[in-house]
Amino acid sequence: MDQDWSRWLDETPEEGEPSGRPARAPVVRLRKRRDESDEGPIPRPILVVGGCGGAGTTTTALGIAGELGAVGTQSVAVDATSAGSDIALRGADEHLSPISLQSWLYGRGDDEPAPLKECLSRATSGIGLLWRDAAPLRRRATYLTVARGIHDSGYTGVYDGGNPIASRHLRPLLEDADIALVLAIPARADAANRLRLTLEWLDDNFGAQGEGQGGGIVGDTIVVISHQLPGNHSRIADHLREHLTGWVRDICEVPYDPHLARGELVRHSDLAPETRRAYRRLLAGVAS
**Is pLDDT at 240 greater than 80 in this prediction?**
yes
Q: What is the pLDDT at residue 138?
A: 81
What is the fold of 46-287?
Rossmann fold (3.40.50)
Q: What secondary structure does DSSP assign to 47-78, as a single string?
A: EEEESSTT--HHHHHHHHHHHHHHTT--EEEE
Give the list of residues 6+ apart from residue 197 with CB closer than 8 angstroms, or none.
none
Total-model pTM: 0.85
- Average pLDDT over all residues of the chain: 84
Q: Render pLDDT for 249-285 as a digit per residue (tens, 0 to 9).
A: 999 999 999 999 998 999 999 999 999 999 999 999 8
Separation of alpha carbons 77 and 259, rounded Å? 19
Q: What is the pLDDT at residue 83?
A: 86
**Is pLDDT at 41 greater than 60 in this prediction?**
no
Domain ranges within the chain, ordered by starting residue: 46-287
Residue among 187, 287, 197 nearest 231 (CA): 187
Q: Which range, of 107-111, 217-221, 231-235, averages the lowest pLDDT?
A: 107-111
User: With 0-12 CB in 10 A as exposed, 13-18 as middle and 19+ as buried, what is 229?
Assistant: exposed
Q: Render pLDDT for 120-166 as a digit per residue (tens, 0 to 9).
A: 999 999 999 999 999 888 878 999 999 999 999 999 999 999 989 99
| Mean pLDDT of all residues in 102-112 | 82
Residue among 49, 129, 44 nearest 82 (CA): 49
| Mean pLDDT of all residues in 190-204 | 92
Q: What is the pLDDT at residue 9?
A: 46
Q: What is the pLDDT at residue 280?
A: 95
